Structure 1
Amino acid sequence: MRDPYDVLGVTRQASDAEIKKAFRRLAKVWHPDHKPDDASAKEKFAEISSAYDLLSDTEKRGQYDRGEIDAEGKPRFQGFPGGGSGAGPRGAHHEFNFGGGSPFGGRGRSAGGSEDIFEDILGAFGGRRPRGPGGFAGGGFGGEPPSGEDVAVELTVPFRDWARGGKRRVRLPTGKELNVTVPAGIEPGKSIRLRGQGRPSGLGGAPGDAIITIQVAPDSQFRADGRDVRVQVPVTLYEAVLGAKVRAPTLDGQVELTVPPGSDSGRTLRLRGKGVGEPGSAGDLLVELRIALPKGGDPKLEAFARAMRDEGAYDPRT
């Protein structure tokens, strides 16, 4: 393994804060979930993590600086310094110096060790720490491997499909296509989470999720009013005066609507259960009548209006 100072790009005089800052920067760059298409990212990330694991440990860093352990934390042979009264092998004192304690024992971790900041670094990658040496299988930090990244997409649903609910086809940023069940009347801007449909982990963790944000396309006829739906229906003057049966659009097709005699323009008729939602729990359809005069005018209607003005005038504003 390379010199851990070189791996993190710091000098031997670097402070704990400088080492932590270097590790944080490199870990974010080389985290395998951040580079799913880079086969070398896993190895690079493991090297960075191992280097920080050693240098963030006060005791281990001291042992390494004194040459007592190598970059992997293994003891180095310190030679035979001698001692004793006799000469030659029989009188020699054989000493193996392992520094301040076996590297296979206590860790002597400083307050700024990798265990302390790993959660913060992995926050952007699902919040779970990888396993093994330097963060991978076989030892090290422990815990579950990190999950894959979530993917997000916006799905615009036609008004009528939104009001009644149903399935829509969506293409994810990963290229995968799948059917999404849109609940009837879901609030625009709300999201649907599809578990396990995001990017794969690459480290043995669970795949990320797909987050589908629902938007609603405007409709040329219908307008939502909470769970109700509003629609305007034009009627003739004589239909409004005398009453009639007219065809009116609903989310489920045309129906016959009874216009009561003497209906004003703007009068609203309510059709129960024809609004937003599934059958049995849907809101209502609110049909607003709009009196439409003949296009281009009508001489007989104009004559009638003049006679009514002169002989039977009334004021609807009082």
Structure 2
Amino acid sequence: MAVQREWLDRDFYADLGVASDASAADIKKAYRKLAAQLHPDRNPGDTAAEERFKKVSEANSVLSDVEKRKEYDEARALMSSGRFRGGNGGGFGGAGGGYTGTGGFDIGDLGDLFGGAGGGGGGVGDLFGGLFGGGAGGGNRSQGYTQQPQRPRRGNDLETETTLAFRDAIAGNTVSLKVTSPSPCTACHGSGAKSGTSPRTCNNCNGSGFLNRNQGHFGFSEPDPECQGTGTRIDEPCADCQGTGVQIRPRTINVRIPKGVEDGQRIRLTGQGEAGRRGAPSGDLYVTVHITPDKLFTRTGNDLKITMPVSFGELVLGTTAKVPTLDGQVSIKIPPNTADGRTLRLKGRGVPKRAGGAGDLLVTVKCAVPRKLDDAAIEALKVYVEAEQATGFDPRADWGR
């Protein structure tokens, strides 16, 4: 994974308002709060909020990715230590930028940085190779190393949320989401060039994106300032997107929610995130699903749970009762002398599994006490109580000991 040069001019931690040792949870929380405040839908026509929203989104895309964050931190640590800096004090890609001969780093580091004998690739050399858009190793030291044109940057990943009813989540559903985000320009189809024209090869660098220069015994390549290292030029920028190939606009996305999705689950939609500049690939869109509770069912894994009211007589004598499921009512047998609170299992009546089949429905029986009885029922109950006492039954015989 190559580190983007633009990263080094930004403090992504400051953009999100978190410390450099912030946890992944803290970063996610800070991003969601800022994204909600700055979203273009909440700030129509506010260009300052729109630019801040872009910065916050980019900061989150780097810091929420473990590998990207690691590379970003490593690069910033090297810059702050002074081991790698531009001749103008400006870090990477500044005017006169390059490796300094004194006070910047130990000459022994050159073997790693330029992939010299015994370097073996990897490490710092790979890191800085990524910073300049190509591999840093393998070239002749006296002639510098060959750089490839910087590819247009992939768009950032985006996050959104949706809420489903409990039973829709179990059965699966298709929802329409409205997303306002950087999208490919409809006028130039993402190229950045005016309709009827196309980007051309940069004459200044012959399409390489880099200019070579010598400093002492070493050759160096640095991004061509005229094409910003892309290797192409746009003579007539698209008026709608000012040559970026990207517009912020609302769009509707139909999302298929799979069967059995769980509360808090994230669904990834490849290529539905922020559009890349000048035709670069789009990022991904992550949809977090929230599920509203159901009045009858709860869920544990692939099993569903339900509480069914029954009478005292049904528990003692046993019965066959109807119990609701996701597919309608089915019969369940309650054995005689069933204890109040016992859980009965109906196989295959739970949440559908991806590999086929389904979980179970767990039915807990709960004795319902009548609120009012007529005189005949009361007299009959008194007779029963006397008969019960005559057997020596004591419901609290072992209770409280």
**C-alpha deviation, 1:295, in angstroms:** 2.8
Tell me how far apart the structure 2 counterparts of residues 304 and 255 of structure 1 sit (CA, whole Å): 32
2:395 corresponds to 1:316: yes
What does residue 270 of structure 1 align with?
345
Q: Which structure is higher in RCO with an 8 Å CA cutoff and minimum separation 6?
A: 2
Larger radius of gyration: 1
Distance 1:26 1:184, change over 3 A: closer
2:56 corresponds to 1:56: no
For residue 264 of structure 1, give the secondary structure of its aligned residue in structure 2: coil
What does residue 231 of structure 1 align with?
306
Tell me how far apart the structure 2 counterparts of residues 242 and 35 of structure 1 sit (CA, whole Å): 66
2:261 corresponds to 1:261: no
For residue 55 of structure 1, give the secondary structure of its aligned residue in structure 2: coil
Superposed, 1:1-318 pairs within 5 Å as 24-25=9-10, 34=55, 52-57=93-98, 142-174=149-181, 175-278=250-353, 280-313=356-389, 314-317=393-396, 318=398
**C-alpha deviation, 1:210, in angstroms:** 0.6
**C-alpha deviation, 1:119, in angstroms:** 5.8
For residue 153 of structure 2, give the secondary structure of its aligned residue in structure 1: coil
What TM-score do the two structures reach when normalised by structure 2? 0.45
**C-alpha deviation, 1:250, in angstroms:** 0.8
Distance 1:300 1:225, change over 3 A: farther
Tell me how far apart the structure 1 counterparts of residues 172 and 270 of structure 2 sit (CA, whole Å): 20
Tell me how far apart the structure 2 counterparts of residues 218 and 308 of structure 1 sit (CA, whole Å): 41
Q: Which amino acid aligns with 1:201?
A: G
Distance 1:129 1:275, change over 3 A: farther
Name the stretch that deviates more: 263-272 or 163-172: 163-172
Q: Which amino acid aligns with 2:285?
A: A
For residue 277 of structure 2, give the secondary structure of its aligned residue in structure 1: coil
Distance 1:117 1:173, change over 3 A: farther
Tell me how far apart the structure 1 counterparts of residues 344 and 11 of structure 2 sit (CA, whole Å): 66
Tell me how far apart the structure 1 counterparts of residues 362 and 127 of structure 2 sit (CA, whole Å): 60
What TM-score do the two structures reach when normalised by structure 1? 0.55
For residue 309 of structure 2, give the secondary structure of its aligned residue in structure 1: strand
Gaps spanning 5+ residues in structure 2: where?
A: 16-50, 58-89, 101-113, 115-125, 135-145, 182-249
CA contact (8 A) 2:302 2:353 kept: no
**C-alpha deviation, 1:213, in angstroms:** 1.3
CA contact (8 A) 2:346 2:360 kept: yes
- Residue correspondences, number: 216
Tell me how far apart the structure 2 counterparts of residues 178 and 253 of structure 1 sit (CA, whole Å): 33
Tell me how far apart the structure 2 counterparts of residues 141 and 118 of structure 1 sit (CA, whole Å): 10
Deviations 1:22-47, CA, capped at 9 Å, x for gaps: x714999999x7599xxxxxxxxxxx
Distance 1:272 1:239, change over 3 A: same
- Output the aligned Cα RMSD: 4.1
Q: Which amino acid aligns with 1:196?
A: G
Q: Which amino acid aligns with 2:163?
A: T
Tell me how far apart the structure 1 counterparts of residues 148 and 56 of structure 2 sit (CA, whole Å): 21
Name the stretch that deviates more: 230-239 or 193-202: 230-239
Deviations 1:109-135, CA, capped at 9 Å, x for gaps: 9xxxxx977967xxxxxxx969xxxxx
CA contact (8 A) 1:151 1:172 kept: no
Gaps spanning 5+ residues in structure 1: where?
A: 1-19, 37-48, 60-108, 110-114, 121-127, 131-138
Tell me how far apart the structure 2 counterparts of residues 288 and 53 of structure 1 sit (CA, whole Å): 71
Q: Which amino acid aligns with 1:192?
A: I
CA contact (8 A) 2:133 2:147 kept: no
Distance 1:237 1:146, change over 3 A: same
**C-alpha deviation, 1:275, in angstroms:** 0.7
Tell me how far apart the structure 1 counterparts of residues 159 and 341 of structure 2 sit (CA, whole Å): 43
CA contact (8 A) 1:241 1:263 kept: yes
Q: Which amino acid aligns with 1:163?
A: I
Q: Which amino acid aligns with 1:156?
A: T
Q: Which amino acid aligns with 1:144?
A: R
**C-alpha deviation, 1:53, in angstroms:** 4.1
For residue 144 of structure 1, give the secondary structure of its aligned residue in structure 2: coil
Deviations 1:216-255, CA, capped at 9 Å, x for gaps: 2211110112221110111233333333332211112222
